[in-house]
Structure formats: structure tokens, C-alpha cells
Amino acid sequence: MGQGESVIHHDLDVRLHPGDHRLDVTDRIRFTAGESLVFYLNAALTLEAPPDNVELVSQETNGAVPAKAYRISAAPDQTTLTLRYSGLIDHGLSEEATEYAGSFPQSAGVIADEGVFLAGSSLWYPHVEGRYVSFTLNTVVPARWQTVSQGARQLADDGRVSWRERHAQEEIYLIAAPFHVYSRPAGRVQAMAFLRAEDTALADRYLEVTAQYLAMYNRLLGPYPYTKFALVENFWETGYGMPSFTLLGPTVIRLPFILHSSYPHEIVHNWWGNSVYVDYRQGNWAEGLTSYLADHLIQQQRGTALIFRRNLLQHYADFVSEGRDFPLAEFTARHSSSSEAVGYGKTQMLFHMLRQRLGDEAFVRGLRRFYRQYQFKQAGFAELAEVFQGLDEADLSGFFEQWVQRTGAPELQVKTVETAEQDDGWRLTVVLQQQQPGAAYRMSVPLAVTLKGVEQAVQTRVEMKQKQQAFSLRLDAKPMRLDVDPQFDLFRRLSRAEIPPALSQAFGAERVLLVLPAAAAAETRAAYETLAASWRQGQSAEVDVRYDDTLISLPDDRTVWLLGGANRFAPVLVAALAEQGVEQRDGQVVLNQRHFDPARDAVVLAARRAGDNAHALVWLAADRAAALPGLARKLPHYRKYSYLVFSGDEPTNELKGQWPVIASPMTVRLAEQPIPMAQLESRQALAQLPTASR
Ligand SMILES: [Zn+2]
């Protein structure tokens, strides 16, 4: 968006006719005197008696909707122009993509009996490329309908609703439906909920957590930039965060965990992305920062941030092969598991590493300064770097460049560890290596040493600048064990042995073999053939399908899915999981000392090929044909797990977990007997949620 260029103001009077898919609009546009502007309008909308100085210049079909471009040749002192237009907008919903678990159907704009969804890309108001807008929006809708847009809601005496936002916006949304409206003050902000059916209990839950999270983030980041925050129920499944509201699907808003996962994430977007705008030419930093301050922060409040970061890194290791990797500078939005692992995962780790370098106080000070300085303006990684470097807290030279511009990740290894007793204690010397191709990363590597008879670990960070570097520590007692980056504080490509085998490794594979059970009942075989066909279609991976009686052995060079409880190759997987206590007995699967019958329950087990850490081996011990379509649909959502059990036809998840990591190469045993790591310093979340007001 044009920095420094003036904001274009719209005074919009909009009449919606959902039954006819139509809208009628009068727009008084205010601009800088004498500007010659080109604006775009949805080609389905017709200007009524356009002023003489407005001319059609082109028709375009390459955007989200067919568009007409008009030029305003304003007189030198002219600052306003009134346009009247009307027409039909009904672009419908795109097909739901099945390959990628994070995707929703989309619409370029719809006016219908079920509801109205209009965004900037619908071109429902005269859109000038690259310019911010402010607006007032007066709406006339059928009886019992309500509208939602950015900013503050005002109710006129005649019951008409208008929306007003004076701060620079990237676009104007208009949402409408027969909503039930709930509202409650939360400090100086109004917490609101727009539900499609009356549900006071649900609305209350949202209004309550809205107030709690707004209070928490106001304190952490600086004042929330809008006058309201609204939960808006959409008429199809979405998870959108707009400035001052979130548009969530009817199923999503009723999932109890959303209140403390997606919902606060959308609230935090009002700081990052919806008021400090993203300069996409530099890459999208806002998703990662929002995720770090919502998803990661909430995990840290619960004491599970370490596992959360390990999962992010595992996701990267499993989904981002060299060919799929790209630098943060090129991330705009997620469209696949690999782009999510980079754009959300790597960016979160960038902010985590920045926080470790600066300390919590300076990190928060930097965030607040960045917010204050770039509110309602555009910013990129360069502006972030400038603000954090300006804190003068730590030497950050090269930090942003390394993590933003460079593709890939460091691969850290422990080469050698030596210990020696000295007059005044012990000395530990560790040689660390970076195995990735190309130059060394500059990293502050956390080390934890467990000493004999000492409860608390000795923790330190060493500054690594070369691909191989030795570090020496003086210790008061005999070192028993060394752990390198024990809390997964660094963005790096994890070694396979650091992470438990999980479904993500199989879903992220580039070559896959599905092995069908020839001995299964006809109905089960047919269900597996359908599943195989749909996976083959929906994946970018190369997928082969074979029956188990046509194979002598399993190929070594790819990920293998064994399908069916009676799969001939099941013993290969059971052997690979012997250390985890998995057994196969009388047609049943023994897992966590419980017995499961594949005829009744669906058991899913992830392992690695024996002696070969590169490829995953997964067994779907599930013979209940009716459960297979649901299982195929649900599994991508459980990809971080090593084992799963589902029951029923739905099917419903009964058991899930990750195998413990038995032999991490980042843990070096220095004593004869394996001992657990000593206690690490406890860490605080960046903020705490205030208690509910009632
Ligand atoms: Zn987001």
C-alpha cells in the first residue's frame, strides 16, 4: 500500500436484497484535490448515470472477480465524487480442497438468503489499487437481518445500523445475516457476538474470553486498536480474522477448544496484520508473530511449550524437503503443509530465538515499540529488524538476514565430548558441528549439564559462528550428562532420532507405497481401494498401490502404509515397535498393555524402518469398512501422533500419543548408567490470562 499517500474515504449507503442476490449502493468518495484515480468495480455492477468525468478504461478478468476499471478525471479543486451503482453478486463457494487439512472453501463474494459475504476482493465498492480506505457504511437490510463490518457500530433512531472506521484500512468488509446480537463492554472496547441462532450461553462464553484476552494483550502489547471485537458466525466453515472481528464457521465456533486456540489467535491479529499491515514484498511476518503470541504463549501458560516447539520442528523436518523449502522473505500465505511449516513454524522460531537473545523484558519492549510506530501502516521484516536493533540490547547484526533471507535450516550435531578432572573442579569440552550445506549459521546454542549429585542443571549458551567449533565449560562437580538445545529453542532441522516417528512423516513423504490386504473381507478390501484411490488423487506425492500377496518384501526407498489388520507385512512393523511394547497376538494389537481388535477398533501405528531412519512405516489395523472413509478424513488432523485408536463408524478417537524419544543424538551420556536430565530453570509465559469477571 502506498505509504504516505492519503487515505481514500467512502461514505457508503448500501441496500442489500439477499433474495435477489443484489445490492444498491450510493458512495460518496473523498480524495485529495484533483487526483486522477483509477478504480475497479465488480463487472456485474452497473454505474447509474456516471458523472461526465468518470470513464470506463478497461475490462479485466484476471482478479478474483471480473472487473471494470474506471478513471476519474477530477477537476483541480475537486475532492469528492458521488457514484450510484447496483447489481448482482453471487460468486458461490469454491470446492473444498481435501489434500490440506488447514483449508476451507472460499468465496469471492456472495449475497444470498443464507447470508452476505463481501470483501475487498469482491470489488463491491470502488477499489483503488494500493490505497488505504476509511469509511462510514450505512446499511439497509431485510427485517431481522444485521450487518457487520470493521470499526464501531451505531444504531440510528429508525433502527438502521451504520459502521464507521476512521483508521486506514486495507479493505472494507460487509457481512450480513439474520444474526442474534450479543454485546458487553470490555474496558473501553465492546465485546460482541453475532450468532445465527439464539444461544446466550455460547455468546456469554465468547464475550467473557474476549474480555479476558483483550485485557491480557492490552497489557502486553499496547492498547487494542479498535472499538469492538466481534465473534461472527459464518454460514460456511471458515477461520478468518478481519480487523475488529473474526468470521468463524458454525462447527468451528462450537468446538470447545477454539476459545483458547483459534479465537485468541484471531484477536492477536488485530495487532499484527490487521493494524500493523504486512508489507508482502518482504514476506509475511504477521502469521508467525501472531502464532507465537497466541498459540505458543498459551502453550507456555500450560507448561507444554517445549512439546509445541518440538512439533513445529518435526513438522518442518517431515514436510519441508529441500525442494519445497523457501526463505521467509517469500512467504505470503499457507497453501500446503510445507508452506505452513515455514511461514508459521520457522517464523515462530525466529521470534522465539529473538526473545531468547533479548530477554523477555526487552523483547516485549520491542514489540510495543513496533506496534506504536507502525500502527495503521505497512511494515516488513526490515522494519522489525530496525526496531529491535534500535533497542541496543544485543548484537542482532545478521540475525534477521540469516533467518529471513536464507533458505533452509542449520543441522546441529555433537561431534565429541570430553571431560577431565582438574584441581578446581571439572572441565567439559564439547565440539559442535553444523552439517547443513553452505555457510555456518550464527547461533546461540543452549547447553544443559547434569552434574553428579546436583538437582539443578548447569545451563549456559554458547555462541556458535563456525561450522565446527569447540566450547569449554568449567564445572564444580562431575558431569554426568550433556544436553544440547534440550528445550528446542533453536530453529534447526531435527535429526530423525530426536523425534518420535509420527504420521506427519508419512504424510510429508514424497514417495509412498500403500499395501492392501489380500486376505481381508471383500467389503474391507473395497473400502481400502476407495481410500487408496482418494489418497492417490489428493496428494502431490508419488503414490503406488499394491496388494500384499504381490510383494515378496517391502521396498526400502519410500514410506509404506500397511492397510488392514490382516496385512501380511504387519509383523515388520510390530518388530520395529518392539521397544515401545507393541505386539500382535491372536489377531489383536497390543498397545499400552491394552488389546484392540481391528475388526472393532481402528489402530494406527507409526514406526521407522529398521536400521533406516529416513522412511516411515505406518500400519492402519482397521477392518471395519464403514469406519474407513471417516478415518481417511480424520487422520491428517492427527498427524503429530505416533499411535492412535479410533472406535465406531464415525470413527471417534479413543487414544492418541507420541512414542518417547529413546536415543536423541543431542543427549550425551557421560556416566556409566543412563540418568535423567537434571532440572532446568523454570520459564514464565509472556503474559497471564486475568481471571474471568464472573
Ligand atoms: Zn493467523
* ipTM of model over 0.90: yes
User: Quick check: is 121 in a domain?
Assistant: yes
- 196 — alpha (psi -120 to 50), left (phi > 0) or beta? alpha
pLDDT of res. 564: 96
Report the percent of the chain where pLDDT is more than 90. Answer: 80
Q: How far is Cα 649 from Cα 275, in angstroms, rounded to an integer? A: 45
* 612 compared with 196, residue with greater pLDDT: 196
pLDDT of res. 5: 74
The DSSP letter of residue 19 is G
What is the SS3 string spanning 233-290?
A: ECCCCCEEEECCEEEECHHHHCCHHHHHCHHHHHHHCCCECCCEEECHHHCCCHHHHH
pLDDT of res. 536: 79
* Sign of the CA dihedral with 374 first, then 375, 378, and 384 last: positive
pLDDT of res. 694: 52
3-class secondary structure, 133:
strand
Ligand 1 centroid to 284 CA: how many Å? 11
Are 419 and 518 within one domain? no
pLDDT of res. 3: 53
- pLDDT of 692 higher than 90: no
pLDDT of res. 205: 96
Report the percent of the chain where pLDDT is more than 70. Answer: 97
What's the pLDDT tens digit per position in 277-295?
A: 999 999 999 999 999 999 9
Are 537 and 614 within one domain? yes
User: Quick check: is 158 in a domain?
Assistant: yes
CATH code, 292? 1.10.390.10
- Min mean pLDDT across 347-351, 512-516, 532-536, 599-603 is at 532-536
Residue 69 domain boundaries: 1-178
Q: Region 235-243: what's the mean pLDDT?
A: 92
Are 349 and 478 within one domain? no
* Residue in the block written with cell 504477521: 286
Q: How far is Cα 644 from Cα 659, in angstroms, rounded to an integer? A: 11
3-class secondary structure, 693:
coil
CATH code, 422? 2.60.40.1840
User: Quick check: is 256 in a domain?
Assistant: no
Looking only at the bridges linking them, the beta strands covering 511-516 and 542-547 are parallel
Ligand 1 centroid to 287 CA: how many Å? 5
Looking only at the bridges linking them, the beta strands covering 80-88 and 45-47 are antiparallel
With bands split at pLDDT 50, 70 and 90, how would you rate the model's confidence at 393? confident
- pLDDT of 499 higher than 60: yes
pLDDT of res. 100: 45
Give the chain's domain count. 4
The one catalytic residue among 266, 340, 383, 498 = 266
- pLDDT of 101 higher than 50: no
- Min mean pLDDT across 70-74, 401-405, 673-677 is at 673-677
Tell me, yes or no, if 114 is annotated catalytic: no
- pLDDT of 546 higher than 60: yes
For residue 29, give the nearest of 58, 66, 72, 61 by alpha carbon: 72
> Is residue 59 a contact partner of residue 44, using CB atoms and an 8 Å limit?
no
- pLDDT of 215 higher than 60: yes
17 annotated among ligand-binding-site residues: no
What's the pLDDT tens digit per position in 554-595?
A: 998 889 999 999 999 999 999 989 888 999 999 999 998 999
> Is residue 448 a contact partner of residue 500, using CB atoms and an 8 Å limit?
no
Q: How far is Cα 507 from Cα 505, in angstroms, rounded to an integer? A: 6
> Is residue 78 a contact partner of residue 84, using CB atoms and an 8 Å limit?
no
- pLDDT of 233 higher than 90: yes
User: Quick check: is 606 in a domain?
Assistant: yes
Are 515 and 418 within one domain? no
Are 463 and 591 within one domain? no
User: Quick check: is 30 in a domain?
Assistant: yes
* Residue in the block written with cell 520459564: 683
- pLDDT of 98 higher than 50: no
Q: How far is Cα 682 from Cα 689, in angstroms, rounded to an integer? A: 19
265 annotated among ligand-binding-site residues: yes
- Min mean pLDDT across 102-116, 254-268, 641-655 is at 102-116
pLDDT of res. 397: 87
Are 446 and 377 within one domain? no
User: Quick check: is 270 in a domain?
Assistant: no
Are 561 and 643 within one domain? yes
3-class secondary structure, 341:
helix
Residue 629 parent element (H or E): helix 628-634
- pLDDT of 482 higher than 50: yes
For residue 234, give the nearest of 115, 139, 148, 95 by alpha carbon: 115
Q: How far is Cα 571 from Cα 575, in angstroms, rounded to an integer? A: 6
Ligand 1 centroid to 241 CA: how many Å? 7
What's the pLDDT tens digit per position in 447-480?
A: 999 999 999 999 999 999 999 999 999 999 999 9
127 annotated among ligand-binding-site residues: no
C-alpha cell at 381: 521484516
Are 286 and 152 within one domain? no
What's the pLDDT tens digit per position in 611-663?
A: 655 789 999 999 999 999 999 889 988 988 999 999 999 999 999 999 988 77
pLDDT of res. 432: 98
CATH code, 121? 2.60.40.1730
Are 548 and 486 within one domain? no
- pLDDT of 65 higher than 80: yes
* 14 compared with 672, residue with greater pLDDT: 14
178, 207, 228 - which closes a domain: 178
What's the pLDDT tens digit per position in 111-168?
A: 999 999 999 999 999 999 999 999 999 999 999 999 999 999 999 888 899 999 999 9
User: Quick check: is 604 in a domain?
Assistant: yes
Ligand 1 centroid to 617 CA: how many Å? 33
450, 476, 498 - which closes a domain: 498
Ligand 1 centroid to 215 CA: how many Å? 20
Burial 105-142 (b: 16+ CB within 10 A, else e): ebbbbbbbeebbbbbbbbbbbbbbeebbbbbbbbbbbe
Ligand 1 centroid to 289 CA: how many Å? 9
CATH code, 561? 3.30.379
Are 449 and 567 within one domain? no
For residue 341, give the nearest of 419, 240, 409, 265 by alpha carbon: 409
- pLDDT of 99 higher than 50: no
Q: How far is Cα 141 from Cα 118, in angstroms, rounded to an integer? A: 14
Crossing angle (nearest 10°) for helices 200-221 and 360-374: 100
Burial 221-233 (b: 16+ CB within 10 A, else e): bbbbbbebbbbbb
Q: How far is CA 576 from CA 195, 538, 568, 569, 571, in A?
A: 50, 29, 15, 12, 9
Tell me, yes or no, if 266 is annotated catalytic: yes
For residue 164, give the nearest of 139, 192, 135 by alpha carbon: 135
Q: How far is Cα 215 from Cα 208, in angstroms, rounded to an integer? A: 11
Residue 339 parent element (H or E): helix 337-340
Q: How far is Cα 668 from Cα 578, in angstroms, rounded to an integer? A: 24
The one catalytic residue among 344, 441, 547, 643 = 344
* Burial class of residue 203, CB neighbours in 10 A (0-12, 13-18, 19+): buried
User: Quick check: is 332 in a domain?
Assistant: yes
What's the pLDDT tens digit per position in 396-453?
A: 989 999 999 999 999 999 999 999 999 989 999 999 999 999 999 999 999 999 999 9
434, 465, 498 - which closes a domain: 498
Q: For 24, what's the count of Cα atoms within 13 Å in the CB-facing half-sphere?
A: 6
Are 74 and 152 within one domain? yes
Ligand 1 centroid to 260 CA: how many Å? 14
Are 459 and 510 within one domain? no
Q: How far is Cα 467 from Cα 676, in angstroms, rounded to an integer? A: 29
